[in-house]
Structure 1
Amino acid sequence: MAEKYNYIQKSFSNLKEISIPKFQRGLVWTQEKRRDLISTLHEGYPFGVILVATNNTKKNTKDETDNSNDVSNWQLLDGQQRLSTIIDYSKNSIKYWKPLNQVEYSVVRKKVDKIFIDKGIPTLVEKDFDALLNLSSVEFTQKMIDLKISDMEDVLNIQKGLQAIRQSVDDYVNLKTLEIPMIQFTGRSQDYAQVFENLNKGGVPLNKYEIYNAAWIDARITLSSDNENEKIILDNIIDYYKEIEKAGTFELSESADEIIEDNIVNLAEFGRALGQLVVSKLPALTSDNVVNEIGFGILGIATNTNNKDIGTLNSSENLEKIQSEYKDILLRVDNISQKLNDTFSILKLNLGHSKGGAKKQYTDGLSTVFKTLSYFADLWDLDDREITKHLINIPGYYVADYLDNTWGAHGDSRLTDYYPEVSKKNYSNPIDKDAFKIKFKDWVSENNDRKNGFSKQIKALLNIYGNYTYKKDKDVLEFTGQDDEFEHIIPKKRILGFDKNNYVNLNSIGNGMILPKYLNLDKQAKTIYEYEKTRKTKINESGLQDKAHYPTELEFKEQFKNLEENNFDAVNKYLMNRSMEFIEHFVEKVL
């Protein structure tokens, strides 16, 4: 296969016409990072390659002349901060040189100060002293007259000191001879992300969605900000840059609040901000960790772009569609996100009532990005009546798709089947209960490993069932105003008191439930029956057994005896039987 790149070197003077993208919105390295680069150049150390590609938007439309070697036709893809720093050094070299050569600078400064002091003239502040370095001979002479330095020997000594600094600055990095190593990528623009990934393996990992910033230099969307969602999009973009600046890696060359002009944003910013909008409205299935995947994935759905080809979103056809339909896209995203979040309240945990409680508001152990995107794809073109019909079925598929690992591999390809214009798959029909039971039982049997606690998947399943049943029934347990806690029905402390080698499966779904924190803390290693007797409080035992399927006192007695006799196989067998019973109850209540 032919190579799609060229290794080249260009002198700094030849690179001034390269198109440096404005997509990074004035993001610049901190002054410390910029000085580090200049110091590297001074020492003659390697400083990394610059990645460029032919800017097809500047291609001569009058003929088919190959202008790929014309520097003015290149756009910078990677290395903006390096090249921008070198350009800035060429214009403001003293700003970089001075902190790196403080001793040499101070020696000259003190000599000039002494001349002023001896003449009874106030010394110059640093800013005014530095300004002398940029004066022409005529300007310098006039400045000495203005400062009343008339002695020619003094003038010459000042001039000599300034010239020494100028010469040191010129010699520090010789820009006339500086050669910059470059890679010229000659492949397709949709391959930019893969190029970035390969170049940066082993280094600081780059997010491919951030990489699309480089590919989408001229892909811009103009918003009107005449409705709430558009304002949220613009605010999300501004907040994103504020967070980057706050992290300390970059500075902004202008205020974050002034960074967007005329409500024009680039496609990468719009996709990211769209993802943030979804996360804010659909916390049940999303989080800040998937902002880009969700936002760009939805743009793929809206433009009928396969998720594997998301790098082509910047095509003129897609860009035109997004620009003309972005208001409708935002309305659909808002509507679907809120309806999905209501549907998936079954994942919600009670929390925030006490210190040390659960940190995540929703149990996300079964959630994946592509699965969530499939819901958007399925509901995208439906009216509210049809959306409601599909939403009744989606929770069942949410669990079933996890059980048989539907979205584990090639999820991007499978997602396309749910696109409105493809429509090979959808959530219009209820899931088959018998098939679901088989999947669930097979999964429990195959995942019967002996863990030291509940996995996030088991917690999600326990929480779904609890929210459908006993958690909303105050006659069983009082959850109001209490944090939820996952509890081993046969108390973990009691099990570990006998089982020193972790033979008993502490991840069994048959041994799990959710309790309000007050009860879980108070009862400790007791069963609820034992707690009830010691605290002389009355608990709805029949409701607990009926709704939460809590074991009877006799069942507890038998299992405690098995533990005392180290009959851990019998305990595991009991827990497996309870797991199978849990599945029956789960199907009855959830589906």
Structure 2
Amino acid sequence: MDSLSSKEDVKAAMQSIDDLKQQIRSFVNLEHLNVPMIVYLGGSAHIADVFANLNKGGVPLTKYEVFGAAWVNAAIRLRGAEESPLQDQLLQYVKNYYLDMRKQAEFDVDDFSEDELTQNRTVTLPEFGTALGQYVVDHLSALVPETTSAAPEIGFGLLGVAMNLDNRKLSSLNKYIQKIRDELEDILQKTERICNNLQSMFETLLRRFKSTGNDYENGLSSTFKTLSYFAALWDLDPSSEEYTTALSNIKAAYVYDAITSAWSSHGDQRLMEYCNSSRDYGTRISEEQFDQAFDQWIADQTPGINFGKDIKCLITIHANLSYLSASVPNGETFELEHIIARKRIDAADSSRPRHILGNSLGNCMYLPRGINNPKKDKTLYEINDHNRYSQLIKESQYFSEDEMQKAMQALTASDYESVNGLLRERSRQVAHTLVRALLKDSV
């Protein structure tokens, strides 16, 4: 009886499926389906803008995805295999892009054949822009954070720099396709050279000490600021004094522009000023100007407990230019920590909003791992057996023993202003040391 019932259920289910298929066929006849189309008869220069306007409804694409759809016919023919190592690398980046897409999505990518791409050596303008950006991401890792948007932002922005095109008008980049073809090798060579120069400089500034994972603290970086370095150096003779001067001044400008919020708004307009040479990195920032900017930045800091990416970056630069290069005991792991331990600050200031500048430049440095994490509250003086950390205390501008004692007493008494006064003073000391170290090689 049960077997008979089961067979009837299966038969009924199959009949239901057949009925559903028939209803679908009667509802949508794919053989006679009318699909509305828009035929664009304008010039190719505006096609990206047309795509962007059509894309305003629903879930919008990024402008780089619009470029990819609009410029599929803007082709760039690369040199033959092994004729240009840089063009060979670029082609491999294009292949990797599609291979990674296929791997991540777990389905085939239409119209992509690795063998055909290897043989034809022809890429589209969108493919070129993204591959160029990925080259910069990989070869300028100290400065450029690797995000999902980094490659197209940098790559297309860099093509704008090469074509002296306003970043706000990148939708017309395909008008320059012949110029890009003609200058392809020159674009790649300049990109390679500037990447190497900037990476060499910034890796010594931004490298984390004995870290795992991401090797750099690049919290002061931004796309427009990075592109401005390329723009300022792009047309200069790399053997010239002008090039050397600009490169040496970029290091200080990286920090100065961050604390003065130079790139916080209208970044595209500011970038264009570097492209047309009305602004450059040829002038050294004065110590007085830099100190004043830092003093104002420190005065504007607000209480908190968690370090922001700007603090982490500044402290990493300070450490790399001072105590981390000489004073760290061999074989020890150091991490960014609170000088006045977080546990002690939490005990003295548990209110919201906070009163103590526990998140400030003055309360952050690279310290032996774990001495003051949330479960510990040691100072360097309390673990300084056999003067192990005496040199580190001196060269890192750590609080003096008397200052540390005053800080602990002020915490016990809930004297927030006294604690903050000590933290602001150390912030100024660190900042002024940082300024002089950054300007040391500027000309």
Do Structure 1 and Structure 2 share a fold, with TM-score over 0.5? yes
Distance 1:414 1:196 in 2: 27
1:432 Cα offset (Å): 1.7
Q: Structure 1 residues 254 and 179 mapped into 2: Cα distance closer, same or farther (>3 Å)?
A: closer
Distance 1:169 1:235 in 2: 45
Q: 1:488 — aligned with what? A: 338
Give a deviation string over 1:497-516, Cα, whole Å, max 9, x none: 22222321111111111124
1:397 Cα offset (Å): 0.7
Q: Tell me the SS of whatever aligns to 2:378.
A: coil
1:322 Cα offset (Å): 1.0
Q: 2:312 — aligned with what? A: 459
Give a deviation string over 1:230-250, Cα, whole Å, max 9, x none: 121111111111222223275
2:340 partner letter:
I
Q: 1:132 — aligned with what? A: none
- The alignment's C-alpha RMSD in Å is 2.9
1:423 Cα offset (Å): 1.0
Alignment of 1:20-419 (within 5 A): 103=14, 171=26, 173-175=28-30, 177-183=32-38, 193=48, 196=51, 200=55, 203-224=58-79, 225=81, 226-248=83-105, 251-253=108-110, 256-258=113-115, 260=117, 261-289=119-147, 290-315=150-175, 318-345=176-203, 346-352=205-211, 357=212, 359-386=213-240, 387-419=243-275
Matched, 1:512 2:364: yes
CA contact (8 A) 2:217 2:313 kept: yes
Give structure 2 stretches of 5+ with no counterpart: 1-12
Q: 2:348 — aligned with what? A: 498
CA contact (8 A) 1:267 1:314 kept: yes
1:302 partner letter:
A
Distance 1:198 1:484 in 2: 52
1:342 Cα offset (Å): 0.8
Q: Structure 1 residues 204 and 244 mapped into 2: Cα distance closer, same or farther (>3 Å)?
A: farther
Matched, 1:552 2:400: yes
Q: Structure 1 residues 519 and 402 mapped into 2: Cα distance closer, same or farther (>3 Å)?
A: same
1:314 Cα offset (Å): 0.7
CA contact (8 A) 1:241 1:256 kept: no
Distance 1:388 1:198 in 2: 44
CA contact (8 A) 1:466 1:513 kept: yes
Distance 1:202 1:559 in 2: 58
CA contact (8 A) 1:510 1:576 kept: yes
CA contact (8 A) 1:350 1:482 kept: no
Matched, 1:438 2:296: no
1:566 partner letter:
S
Q: 1:529 — aligned with what? A: 381
Q: 1:21 — aligned with what? A: none
1:385 partner letter:
S
1:258 Cα offset (Å): 2.6
Distance 1:497 1:520 in 2: 13
1:303 partner letter:
M
1:253 Cα offset (Å): 3.8
Q: Structure 1 residues 180 and 554 mapped into 2: Cα distance closer, same or farther (>3 Å)?
A: same
Q: 1:146 — aligned with what? A: none
Q: Structure 1 residues 538 and 368 mapped into 2: Cα distance closer, same or farther (>3 Å)?
A: same
1:487 partner letter:
E
1:522 Cα offset (Å): 13
Q: Structure 1 residues 527 and 322 mapped into 2: Cα distance closer, same or farther (>3 Å)?
A: same
1:214 Cα offset (Å): 2.2
Q: Structure 1 residues 248 and 104 mapped into 2: Cα distance closer, same or farther (>3 Å)?
A: farther
CA contact (8 A) 1:485 1:516 kept: yes
1:538 Cα offset (Å): 2.8
Alignment of 1:566-577 (within 5 A): 566-577=414-425
Distance 2:286 2:43 in 1: 45
Q: Structure 1 residues 202 and 347 mapped into 2: Cα distance closer, same or farther (>3 Å)?
A: farther
Aligned to 2:277, which of 423, 447, 451?
A: 423
Q: Structure 1 residues 504 and 191 mapped into 2: Cα distance closer, same or farther (>3 Å)?
A: farther
Q: Tell me the SS of whatever aligns to 2:365.
A: strand
Distance 1:405 1:244 in 2: 37
Give a deviation string over 1:135-175, Cα, whole Å, max 9, x none: xxxxxxxxxxxxxxxxxxxxxxxxxxxxxx9x999756324
Give structure 1 stretches of 5+ with no counterpart: 1-101, 108-164
1:291 partner letter:
A
2:259 partner letter:
L
CA contact (8 A) 1:510 1:577 kept: yes
Q: Structure 1 residues 481 and 106 mapped into 2: Cα distance closer, same or farther (>3 Å)?
A: farther
Distance 2:23 2:435 in 1: 79
Distance 2:274 2:293 in 1: 22
Identity, in percent, stands at: 37
CA contact (8 A) 2:305 2:342 kept: no
Give a deviation string over 1:8-27, Cα, whole Å, max 9, x none: xxxxxxxxxxxxxxxxxxxx
2:379 partner letter:
T
Distance 1:516 1:200 in 2: 53
CA contact (8 A) 1:444 1:579 kept: yes
Aligned to 2:328, which of 477, 497, 500?
A: 477
Distance 1:516 1:333 in 2: 39
Q: Tell me the SS of whatever aligns to 2:174.
A: coil
The alignment of Structure 1 onto Structure 2 pairs a total of residues equal to: 416
Q: Structure 1 residues 454 and 188 mapped into 2: Cα distance closer, same or farther (>3 Å)?
A: farther
2:129 partner letter:
G
1:388 Cα offset (Å): 2.8
Q: 2:10 — aligned with what? A: none
Distance 1:298 1:351 in 2: 32
Q: Tell me the SS of whatever aligns to 2:96.
A: helix
Distance 2:332 2:44 in 1: 53
Quick check: which one's strand share is greater? 1
Q: Structure 1 residues 384 and 516 mapped into 2: Cα distance closer, same or farther (>3 Å)?
A: farther
1:294 partner letter:
I
1:551 partner letter:
F
Give a deviation string over 1:436-467, Cα, whole Å, max 9, x none: 11111111111x21222110001111111111
Give a deviation string over 1:61-111, Cα, whole Å, max 9, x none: xxxxxxxxxxxxxxxxxxxxxxxxxxxxxxxxxxxxxxxxx947998xxxx
Q: Which has the larger radius of gyration?
A: 1
Which has the higher mean CA deviation after the structures are superposed, 190-199 or 222-231? 190-199
Matched, 1:583 2:431: yes
Matched, 1:538 2:387: yes
Distance 1:433 1:481 in 2: 36
Distance 1:269 1:257 in 2: 14
Q: 1:11 — aligned with what? A: none
CA contact (8 A) 2:338 2:372 kept: no
1:189 Cα offset (Å): 5.3
Q: 1:110 — aligned with what? A: none
